[in-house]
Protein backbone atom coordinates (compact mmCIF):
# COMPACT_ATOMS: atom_id res chain seq x y z
CA UNK A 1 0.00 0.00 0.00
CA UNK A 2 1.09 3.57 -0.41
CA UNK A 3 0.24 6.61 1.62
CA UNK A 4 -0.32 9.64 -0.58
CA UNK A 5 2.22 9.57 -3.43
CA UNK A 6 5.15 8.25 -1.33
CA UNK A 7 6.73 4.84 -1.92
CA UNK A 8 9.61 3.06 -0.23
CA UNK A 9 12.53 1.59 -2.16
CA UNK A 10 15.01 -0.31 -0.11
CA UNK A 11 15.17 1.68 3.14
CA UNK A 12 14.27 5.14 1.90
CA UNK A 13 10.97 6.78 0.88
CA UNK A 14 10.72 8.33 -2.54
CA UNK A 15 7.94 10.32 -4.12
CA UNK A 16 6.22 8.91 -7.15
CA UNK A 17 8.10 11.31 -9.46
CA UNK A 18 11.46 10.30 -7.95
CA UNK A 19 10.60 6.64 -8.46
CA UNK A 20 10.00 7.24 -12.17
CA UNK A 21 13.44 8.87 -12.53
CA UNK A 22 15.41 6.16 -10.72
CA UNK A 23 16.78 3.30 -12.73
CA UNK A 24 16.64 0.35 -10.34
CA UNK A 25 12.99 0.56 -9.19
CA UNK A 26 12.29 -3.02 -8.16
CA UNK A 27 11.47 -4.17 -5.52
CA UNK A 28 9.07 -1.38 -4.49
CA UNK A 29 7.76 -1.52 -0.95
CA UNK A 30 5.09 0.86 0.40
CA UNK A 31 5.90 3.27 3.20
CA UNK A 32 4.67 2.23 6.62
CA UNK A 33 1.23 3.31 7.79
CA UNK A 34 0.61 4.99 11.15
CA UNK A 35 -0.20 1.67 12.84
CA UNK A 36 2.97 0.08 11.50
CA UNK A 37 5.01 3.12 12.59
CA UNK A 38 3.73 2.84 16.16
CA UNK A 39 4.72 -0.83 16.33
CA UNK A 40 8.12 0.03 14.85
CA UNK A 41 8.75 2.69 17.46
CA UNK A 42 7.39 5.61 15.48
CA UNK A 43 9.93 5.41 12.66
CA UNK A 44 9.46 4.63 9.01
CA UNK A 45 12.76 3.40 7.63
CA UNK A 46 14.65 5.67 9.93
CA UNK A 47 12.44 8.75 9.40
CA UNK A 48 9.50 9.90 11.49
CA UNK A 49 6.16 10.51 9.71
CA UNK A 50 4.11 13.48 10.85
CA UNK A 51 0.40 13.76 10.14
CA UNK A 52 -0.91 17.24 9.39
CA UNK A 53 -4.46 18.25 10.26
CA UNK A 54 -6.91 17.61 7.43
CA UNK A 55 -7.59 20.35 4.91
CA UNK A 56 -11.31 20.78 4.43
CA UNK A 57 -12.25 22.05 1.01
CA UNK A 58 -15.57 23.76 0.11
CA UNK A 59 -18.41 21.52 -0.91
CA UNK A 60 -18.69 21.05 -4.64
CA UNK A 61 -22.26 21.55 -5.64
CA UNK A 62 -23.81 19.59 -8.45
CA UNK A 63 -27.16 20.77 -9.78
CA UNK A 64 -29.51 18.16 -11.18
CA UNK A 65 -32.61 19.42 -12.93
CA UNK A 66 -35.66 17.19 -12.89
CA UNK A 67 -38.84 17.87 -14.79
CA UNK A 68 -42.39 16.79 -14.20
CA UNK A 69 -45.37 17.22 -16.47
CA UNK A 70 -48.76 18.07 -15.02
CA UNK A 71 -51.80 18.12 -17.29
CA UNK A 72 -54.37 20.76 -16.36
CA UNK A 73 -57.61 20.21 -18.31
CA UNK A 74 -59.43 23.39 -19.33
CA UNK A 75 -63.11 22.72 -19.99
CA UNK A 76 -65.16 25.13 -22.05
CA UNK A 77 -68.77 23.82 -21.98
CA UNK A 78 -71.25 24.88 -24.65
CA UNK A 79 -74.94 24.24 -25.19
CA UNK A 80 -77.19 24.55 -28.21
CA UNK A 81 -80.86 25.13 -27.47
CA UNK A 82 -83.17 24.24 -30.35
CA UNK A 83 -86.46 26.15 -30.34
CA UNK A 84 -89.07 24.84 -32.73
CA UNK A 85 -91.61 27.48 -33.76
CA UNK A 86 -94.98 26.32 -35.04
CA UNK A 87 -97.07 29.03 -36.60
CA UNK A 88 -100.75 28.64 -37.32
CA UNK A 89 -101.97 30.72 -40.21
CA UNK A 90 -105.63 31.53 -39.82
CA UNK A 91 -107.15 32.04 -43.23
CA UNK A 92 -110.62 33.43 -43.65
CA UNK A 93 -112.38 32.16 -46.72
CA UNK A 94 -115.51 33.69 -48.13
CA UNK A 95 -116.87 31.26 -50.64
CA UNK A 96 -119.16 32.96 -53.11
CA UNK A 97 -121.37 31.38 -55.63
CA UNK A 98 -123.08 32.90 -58.63
CA UNK A 99 -126.38 31.70 -59.81
CA UNK A 100 -128.35 32.50 -62.98
CA UNK A 101 -132.04 32.62 -63.08
CA UNK A 102 -134.08 33.02 -66.10
CA UNK A 103 -137.43 34.57 -65.51
CA UNK A 104 -139.99 33.94 -68.04
CA UNK A 105 -143.08 35.75 -68.58
CA UNK A 106 -145.86 35.02 -70.91
CA UNK A 107 -147.76 37.62 -72.73
CA UNK A 108 -150.79 36.51 -74.61
CA UNK A 109 -151.94 38.54 -77.54
CA UNK A 110 -155.09 38.13 -79.43
CA UNK A 111 -154.74 39.35 -82.88
CA UNK A 112 -158.04 39.55 -84.73
CA UNK A 113 -161.58 39.77 -83.92
13 within domain boundaries: yes
101 within domain boundaries: no
In the predicted model, what is the mean pLDDT of residues 87-111? 92
Number of domains, the chain = 1
59 within domain boundaries: no
Percent of the chain with pLDDT over 70: 58
C-alpha 14/C-alpha 4 separation (Å) is 11
Q: pLDDT tens across 41-95, in order?
A: 544 556 788 899 999 999 999 999 999 999 999 999 999 999 999 999 999 999 9
18 within domain boundaries: yes
**Model pLDDT, residue 97:** 96
C-alpha 107/C-alpha 104 separation (Å) is 10
**Model pLDDT, residue 68:** 97
State the pLDDT confidence band at 7, using cuts at 50, 70 and 90.
very low
1 within domain boundaries: no
Domain range for 25: 6-39
83 within domain boundaries: no
35 within domain boundaries: yes
23 within domain boundaries: yes
**Model pLDDT, residue 56:** 92
SS3 content of the chain, % helix, strand, coil (to 5): 10, 10, 75
Amino acid sequence: MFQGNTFQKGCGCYSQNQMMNTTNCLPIQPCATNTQMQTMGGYNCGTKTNIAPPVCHPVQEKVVHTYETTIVPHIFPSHTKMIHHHMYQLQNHYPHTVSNEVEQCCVQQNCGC
